[in-house]
Amino acid sequence: MSPNRRDVLRGLGLAALATPLAACATTGRSAAPTPTVTAAATSAANPLGVNAASPLEVVIFSGGNGDKYAVDLHEAAYSKTYPQSKLKHVGTQKVGTQLRPRFISGDVPDVVNNSGPEALDLQALVQEGQLADLTPLFEAPSLAFPDKKVIDTLVGGVYENSLIDGVPRVLQYTVGHRALWHNAKLFESKGWQLPRTWDEFNALGEEAKKAGIALFAYPGQVGPFYQVWNLVYTAAKIGGNKVIIDIDNLADGAWTAEPVRQAVAAWAQIQKDFGDKAYFGLDHTQTQVKHLQDKVLFYPCGSWLENEMAKEKPDTFEYAIAPVPSVTGTDAMPYEAIFVGVAEAFFVSAKGKNPQGGLEYLRIMLSKEGARGYTEQTRNLTVVNGVVDGLNLTSAVNSAAKAQEAAGKNIITDARFETWYKELFDYSQTQTNSVMAGRITADQFCENMQKKADELKNDSSISKQTRSV
Amino acid sequence: MRRHGFVAGFLLLPVAVYLVFVISPYVQAFQIALTDWRGVSSGLNFVGLDNFRRMFGNDSFWQAIRNHAVLLVAMPLATIALALAFAYLLNAPQGRPVRGAGFYRVVFFLPQVLAVAVVGVLFKAVYRPDASGVINGALIQLGIEPVGWLTDQTLALWSIIAVMVWQGVGFYVVLFSAGMAAIPKDVYEAAALDGAGRLTTFFRITLPLLWETVQVGWIYLGIAAFDGFALVNVLSVEQGGPDGATTVLATEIYKNAFGYSRFGYASALGVALFFLTLTFAAVTMRVTRRERIVY
């Protein structure tokens, strides 16, 4: 008997009921998919044991630096070494949206450049065992300097920043400098000197006011974190890097410490006396354009600034970096101290199809051609030491390099609560806007921040990180 | 029976699509709200009502609720009042409508065809706090201190409500116009013969006969008041600021889910939003229920 129409309809009805179940975002407890390829034997030429035939998938955040560098440099080099391997490149601006479902289903890419506003939460990934241990990479011989291990060719701070729960999981690829950016040509034409003390800073503020220039501005609408950085780095300058380390460790009273209060009060005073409240409602691009128009003297930001504003920058403007003036006469760090830190996260998937290939890909990124080529294409310095001699760099990068030289050992460390406890970081942005606009005092800022930090500390559902340096 | 089968056959596909893309995510949100899911694992770890407990103890949640309450009252009131006034002027059930009524109709409706993100960017320029802002530019020309439309805590939410009203009013003008056109002319003639003025006619004839349309409009607007995500995201400082003055539940959901990878907690907020919207719709239906006037 052939099925009649009613049977068919009944069947369809059942199918309709069954589909929602199949469409679930989560599929219940499933066993972790094991890597489908086994590692090849290691050798001098292949220290990480890459299986030459395994495919490799690379996901690159296509932001300010684009994703072309990866295709041209690193992927080309990988394909040259392993021509049998099928290489897949994905450029995206939505790392999280695109990859989250893939991590759930188990079909994960091997290398991920986890950047941008939608970057994935690394803690969450580590909790699920999704990130590969980078120890073999750091211990492998470097391609740039064959007699050294990879880790010994990198600037300080890379290893410390790679650790999550004590295991290296993430490679930060670029080096950046953050402090106060200004127009060197304007200073020259006006005959102004960079202020070294807070009194000189105020005096310059008066001069600038006469010329119709705001001494300082930060973007309050999108990008108040530039000022959060500025505040904590200034606090570190007053009280030493321990101030930031305590904040990151959620130590008792870290935010109510005197250096934090002094830094916040000092900057709130500058804003009150020489700032313009219009900037609380402007985004970073609008503020940076006004900076280029010489309406703002100092702008707190990082060394990517020149690249970001390259199209808008007039010839009358030359980006240069200046350390934050010393707030007190007894600051723990000298005037020259500036922030130098690492950024641009890359990780290798532990449950991917080719984790060894992923590690090898990172090793290629850290080769001489890989790192130097990256600096050439994106105007960003990488974490590999000594590979950019003779390159034609921008005035901003040159100025930053000079400032780093002057700072010597007095390097302000990075604040990691930004990625460790994003909620605290977001809260610090609203509090910064509040204190700078004069809605709360510096004391209230410290108290509010401390309260939030304590809340997170006592919340057992949030995994804690610690650092000693 | 044959006919029913035929109808069911046509319904199957849309119902299946609805089940998969609407009902099943709802069910899952309820499920995920009871877990501490962080968005990257395939398994779920149930934590009971923890997320809800956390939610009720959270200041941002209550701040969002307060903002929704303001939105819920102010936005529909302003929109409906304006839309009724405009629709009445454009249609003028008794007497002649204002000159250029067709032109105004197009002008009122125009914001409706713009995407919300476009409206957001547009008003970013309107509200810009320096001399380049549309409003503040004019104020500075007049020698008045510029106003921080979106940076002043007491003004920010109202500035955003104004944008919502501006964008929404055109649709309700059209909706109410259609309703007014359906009211028979002889009712107005009878009122006019009894010596009713324009205002009396509006409140005694037009509004009562339009009541069901207004009620529908109120529900639409109320549900819109529970959203507001796109405008808040584009316009407000620090996404819902200053100091949470403009935050809405959707903003909190977005931050927790995609910012802090706390999908469990975000789903709990979503469940709260679901019940709030549902309660609102039910209450409005009940409160505004009247005897149907048949004409």
Q: Are residues A376 and A230 in the same domain?
A: no
In a domain, A468, yes or no: no
Note the pLDDT of residue B283.
86
Question: Which of B5, B39, B238 comes nearest A224 by C-beta?
Answer: B238
The structure tokens listed for A413 are 């460390």
Note the pLDDT of residue A15.
40
The structure tokens listed for A302 are 């990082």
CATH code assigned at A210: 3.40.190.10
Q: Do B39 and A124 touch (CB under 8 A)?
A: yes
- pLDDT band at B183; cut points 50, 70, 90: confident
In a domain, A441, yes or no: yes
Task: Provide residues of B within 8 Å CB-CB of chain A.
Answer: 5, 8-9, 12, 15-16, 19-20, 23-25, 27-28, 32, 36-44, 50, 127-130, 146, 148-151, 153, 237-238, 241-244, 255, 258-261
Note the pLDDT of residue A26.
55
Q: Are residues A203 and A309 in the same domain?
A: yes
In a domain, A193, yes or no: yes
What is the total count of domains within chain A?
Answer: 2
Average pLDDT score over chain B: 85
Return the number of other C-beta atoms located less than 10 Å from residue A451's C-beta. 12
In a domain, A6, yes or no: no
Residues of A with Cβ-Cβ distance to B258 under 8 angstroms: 96, 118
Residue type, B50: D
Q: Do B38 and A121 touch (CB under 8 A)?
A: yes
Q: Are residues A236 and A266 in the same domain?
A: yes
Phi then psi for residue A299, to 5 deg, are: -130, 120
Tell me what the mean pLDDT of segment B88-98 comes to.
Answer: 73
In a domain, A214, yes or no: yes
pLDDT per residue as tens digits for the range A401-416: 888 888 888 889 989 8
Please indicate if any CB of chain B lies within 8 Å of the CB of A130: yes
Query: How close does chain B come to A64, measured CA to CA in Å?
Result: 21
- Whether the pLDDT of residue A18 is over 50: the answer is no
Domain range holding A320?
A: 176-340+412-457
Residue type, A459: D
In a domain, A312, yes or no: yes
CA nearest to B35, candidates B263, B273, B277 = B263
Return the number of other C-beta atoms located less than 10 Å from residue B50's C-beta. 17
The percentage of chain B sitting over the pLDDT mark of 90, rounded to a whole number, equals 20
pLDDT per residue as tens digits for the range A231-290: 999 999 999 999 999 999 999 999 999 999 999 999 999 999 998 888 988 888 899 999
The residue extents of the domains of chain B are 57-287
Query: Best mutation site among A122, A279, A280, A293 for testing chain B: the one with the most B CBs within 10 Å?
Result: A280
Q: Are residues A151 and A289 in the same domain?
A: no
Q: Are residues A134 and A283 in the same domain?
A: no
β-pairing verdict for A296-302 and A214-216: parallel
pLDDT per residue as tens digits for the range A417-460: 988 888 899 899 999 999 999 999 999 999 999 999 999 898 88
Cα distance between residue A371 and residue B69, in whole Å? 55
Q: Are residues A274 and A373 in the same domain?
A: no
Q: Are residues A89 and A214 in the same domain?
A: no
Cα angle B179, B184, B186; round to 5: 150
- Whether the pLDDT of residue A33 is over 60: the answer is no
- Whether the pLDDT of residue A156 is over 70: the answer is yes
Tell me what the mean pLDDT of segment A312-319 comes to.
Answer: 91
- pLDDT band at A89; cut points 50, 70, 90: very high
Task: Give SS3 for B259.
Answer: helix
Residues of A with Cβ-Cβ distance to B15 under 8 angstroms: 16
Question: Which of B27, B128, B241 comes nearest A430 by C-beta?
Answer: B241
Q: Are residues A234 and A328 in the same domain?
A: yes
In a domain, A106, yes or no: yes
- Whether the Cβ atoms of residue A243 and residue A396 lie closer than 8 Å to each other: no
Q: Are residues A168 and A189 in the same domain?
A: no
Alpha-helix runs per DSSP H in A142-257:
158-162, 184-190, 198-210, 225-239, 242-248
Residues of B with Cβ-Cβ distance to A114 under 8 angstroms: none
Task: Give SS3 for A183.
Answer: strand
Tell me what the mean pLDDT of segment B206-230 comes to.
Answer: 86
DSSP per residue over A283-343, as a string?
BHHHHHHHHHTTSEEEEEEETTHHHHTTTT--TT--EEEEPPPBSSTT-SS-TT-EEEEEE
Alpha-helix runs per DSSP H in A23-134:
68-69, 76-81, 95-105, 122-127
CA nearest to A57, candidates A385, A349, A460 = A349
Q: Are residues A211 and A103 in the same domain?
A: no
Query: How close does chain A come to B235, measured CA to CA in Å?
Result: 8
pLDDT per residue as tens digits for the range A168-226: 999 999 998 999 999 999 999 999 999 999 999 999 999 999 999 999 999 988 888 99
For A295, name the nearest residue in chain B, comparing CA atoms only: B130
Residue type, A131: L
Pick the CATH number of B57-287 from 1.10.3720.10, 3.40.50.720, 1.20.140.10, 3.40.50.1700: 1.10.3720.10
Tell me what the mean pLDDT of segment A2-27 comes to.
Answer: 44
Q: Are residues A346 and A333 in the same domain?
A: no
In a domain, A24, yes or no: no
- Whether the Cβ atoms of residue B62 and residue B248 lie closer than 8 Å to each other: no
Q: Are residues A192 and A324 in the same domain?
A: yes
Residues of A with Cβ-Cβ distance to B28 under 8 angstroms: 24-26
Tell me what the mean pLDDT of segment B176-182 comes to.
Answer: 85
A43-47, B170-174, B191-195 — most confident range = B170-174
Tell me what the mean pLDDT of segment B85-108 comes to.
Answer: 78
